[in-house]
Every structure is written in structure tokens, then in C-alpha cells.
Amino acid sequence: MQEFYNETFLNAQKQLDHVARMMNLDTGIHERLRYPRKALIVSVPIKLDNGQTRVYSGYRVQHDQSLGPTKGGIRFHHEVNLGEVAALAMWMTWKCALLNLPYGGAKGGVCCFPEEMSTAEMERLARRYTTEILSMIGPEKDIPAPDMYTNEQTMAWIMDTYSNFIGYAVPGVVTGKPVAVGGSLGRREATGRGVAHTIKMALEKMDLGDRPTAAVQGFGNVGSITAKYLDLQGVKVVAVSDVQGGIHNPNGLDIPRLLNYVADRGTVIGFDDLDSMDNKDLLELDVDILVPAALANVVTEHNADKLKCKILAEGANGPVTPEADKILQEKGVFIIPGILANAGGVVVSYFEWVQDIQHLFWTEDQVNEKLAYLMGRAFEEVYNVSQAKKVDNRTAAMMIGVGRVASAKILRGLYP
Ligand code: GLU
């Protein structure tokens, strides 16, 4: 299984190995969970607008299907590779199990530079990639969703391509679709809402004063909505960033105005004529709450010691390396691991899939209420296990997730 081995995959395996030791996991189950069950590598050739043909590498990895069909996003990014996709698929398994969703974990991606591609090129890429992974996906098999640089439109193209092959409309093949083609109200904001909700719950467990401060790295779907809800919750958001860099105002940023600014300009840079700052420096600001909501592996053993936050909520998947994790724990930082903090997206994906299958749609209030309930329940479970077993939140969250998958595996046995 060496083909998966890159830094991110080894980090995901290390986290599992640690938790397996802590919970005395059956060695056979542990061994099975260390690798994905299925991985597909495909060539995705498309015609560029300039008439040239280009071949991109695409991946879809299913980690485990003990609890149900597999679920997880598709990302378009220049750093996508097999190891990263396999790690992300493994994290989806723990995330779905922790939230008690009837899913296993999967992830997909295409290695490309989406910022440099036209909408027409993106459409051809999404459709051809769907065609190449068609045998793996389906509403009862494996259900993709948006991730980095994919969105509702991408999901509509995937749904359309799949439906054309099947011969009738199959909305349940993907989640995170536009509402007009079977998407769910509340899905677009669900991940950021969930991140802000878990931060609110963490703040109730500790005393950080009346108006705690926050910095958010990444201003895409997750970071921007997290900032929006933190602001509404009374948190002073002092710094945010995107790929081009960050902005900082110690007195607090006007988040509603910033959201409009970004909708117009496509970047946070230049807002209120603030000086831009480096993405790395943002992580080290003296704030109460830090939300890395962009790339993986941004907090490492080289900068963990310099972080000043008291709460770190992982909006992104895997932003903290295992070495950095240890340093932050020694410093007493309250980490809300990604499999909990950013689970709001897949929770509402689950609601969308259920609505599609039932052909019966819910109001936005119903969606948000159920989301808050599931996030709150998972947060309390993680907190209680961490207190009872005297372990950090990530270990507690994984013990719950891995434990649920392991129980299902034991009951189902090993085929044949
Ligand atoms: N890509 C998101 C995640 O990492 C959402 C996955 C989904 O909704 O299936 O959790």
C-alpha cells in the first residue's frame, strides 16, 4: 500500500495508530482501517479554450463502508495527489461516524489550477472526471459533495452527467447542489455555521471575557461564513485572509461590509485600506480564537510554539500536523478537531440526501435546527470523553468515531 504514502496520509495513519493504542483496538480491525478499501486514478483529458488538449490526474478514494455508502467532497487544486485524497477519505470516515451519520468516508480530486481555468473548461473537467469515476459513485454507493474550489455549479454538472448516463434524473448522487435541482436549504452555509457553533460551545466551557477575538485563515465558503457567524455571536474578528494574503484591524473588522466587499472584488485585500499581511503571520496573532480554514499542514512543529490562541477550531481538514498537535496540547490550547468543527457540511449533506431520497423538502429553519442539534450532541460527547478519559479533544473525537466503525466491523465480520 506504499502508493498512498505521503506526508498527509502518514499523518492520518499516525492519528489512527495513536487512538488504536489508547482504546486497545482489535489489531485486525486496526490493520483494516489503516488503508482505503478502494482507490481509482483516472486521466481526465479536456480541450482547453485555446484548442489545445490537456490531461489532468483525477482520483476517487473510498476509505471504509462499514456504516453505509461512502461520502466525501471533490476538490480541484494543484496539490491534489493520491496520498492526500486517501487521508481526506479516512478523516471523512471518522467525521461521519462521530456525527452518527450512516456513511463511510471517501474523497476525490483533480490536480489542476482552477484559478486559471475558464468556466467552460471547469465544466468539461467536471463532466469528464464524473464519466471516469462513474462506476464508483451513486446514491447508494458513494456520494460526492463540494470541497476546495468546487461549488454548487460543479455539483449540478456532476449530477447532470451522471443522470445522462443512467437515463433519468438522480439528484441523490451528489450533495451541495443548487436548491433548484434538489439541493437543501442551508447547505451552502452549513460548514461555517457548524464551525461557529462549536466555537460557541467551547466558549461556554471557558472564560475568555465578554468579547473574545478571532483570526480566520481562508475566506472561501468555510472561512467567510465562519467569520459571519462569529461576528453575529459577538466575537471580535480582527483578521482574515485568502490566497492573496490577510488583513488585520485590532479594533475588529466590519464583517457584513467585508462580505459585500469580497463578493464584489473577489479578495479581502484592500478592504478599508488596511495593510496586507502574510498568511503565516496571521496564525501567530495574539487572538483568543484561531480558525485555519484553508489548507492542510499549516500549523507544524516550526510555528506551533508561536501560536497565541486559546481555542483553535479546524475549519480546514488536517491543518495541524501530529507534531504541532503535541506542542499545542502542552500549551493548553483547546483544539476543536476538523472531524468535529467542520462536520456541519457533511451533516447537511446527509439532510440533503435524505430529502432527495424522500422527495420531501424541509424548511431552512428545520435544517438549521437539526444541524445545531447534531453538532451540539457530538461536541458534548467529545467533551465528556475527553474529561472522562483525560485525553485531548482530537483523541476523544477519534475514539468515538473509530469505536463506532470498529463495532460495525466486528458485527459484520470479515468476508468471506
Ligand atoms: N467536503 C466537505 C468535508 O470535508 C463536505 C463533504 C460532504 O458533504 O460530503 O467535510
pLDDT value for 2: 75
pLDDT value for 4: 82
CA of 255 to the centre of ligand 1 (A): 25
CA distance 192 to 103: 21
Closest residue by Cα to residue 294 from 317, 271, 324, 310: 317
pLDDT value for 347: 98
CA distance 103 to 147: 17
| Closest atom of ligand 1 relative to the 74 alpha carbon | 1
CA distance 90 to 93: 5
Q: Which residue from 107, 155, 346, 351 has its CB within 8 A of the most atoms of ligand 1, so it is best to mutate?
A: 346
The crossing angle, in degrees rounded to 10, of helices 82-98 and 364-389 is 90
Q: Whose CA is nearest to atom 10 of ligand 1?
A: 346
CA of 303 to the centre of ligand 1 (A): 28
Q: Which residue from 71, 84, 90, 92 has its CB within 8 A of the most atoms of ligand 1, so it is best to mutate?
A: 92
- pLDDT per residue of the chain (416 residues) written in tens, 0 to 9: 778 888 899 999 999 999 999 999 999 999 999 999 999 999 999 999 999 999 999 999 999 999 999 999 999 999 999 999 999 999 999 999 999 999 999 999 999 999 999 999 999 999 999 999 999 999 999 999 999 999 999 999 999 999 999 999 999 999 999 999 999 999 999 999 999 999 999 999 998 999 999 999 999 999 999 999 999 999 999 999 999 999 999 999 999 999 999 999 999 999 999 999 999 999 999 999 999 999 999 999 999 999 999 999 999 999 999 999 999 999 999 999 999 999 999 999 999 999 999 999 999 999 999 999 999 999 999 999 999 999 999 999 999 999 999 999 999 999 99
Q: Which residue from 349, 355, 371 has its CB within 8 A of the most atoms of ligand 1, so it is best to mutate?
A: 349
CA of 300 to the centre of ligand 1 (A): 24
Q: Whose CA is nearest to atom 9 of ligand 1?
A: 72
CA of residue 28 relative to chain centroid, distance: 28
Could you list the active site residues? 107
CA of 329 to the centre of ligand 1 (A): 27
CA of 71 to the centre of ligand 1 (A): 8
Q: Report the alpha-carbon angle 75-79-83, nearest 5.
A: 85
Q: Ligand 1 pocket, 175 CB below 6 A?
A: yes
Under 8 Å between Cβ of 339 and 398: yes
pLDDT value for 415: 95
| Closest atom of ligand 1 relative to the 143 alpha carbon | 9
Closest residue by Cα to residue 312 from 209, 193, 216, 234: 216
Q: Whose CA is nearest to atom 7 of ligand 1?
A: 346
| Closest atom of ligand 1 relative to the 343 alpha carbon | 10
pLDDT value for 3: 81
pLDDT value for 381: 98
pLDDT value for 361: 98
Write the single-letter amino acid at 348: V
Under 8 Å between Cβ of 181 and 154: no
| Closest atom of ligand 1 relative to the 350 alpha carbon | 8
Q: Ligand 1 pocket, 83 CB below 6 A?
A: no
CA of 73 to the centre of ligand 1 (A): 5
Pairing label, strands 38-47, 236-242 = unpaired
Domains (ranges, CATH) in the chain? 36-172 (3.40.50.10860), 190-341 (3.40.50.720)
pLDDT value for 5: 84
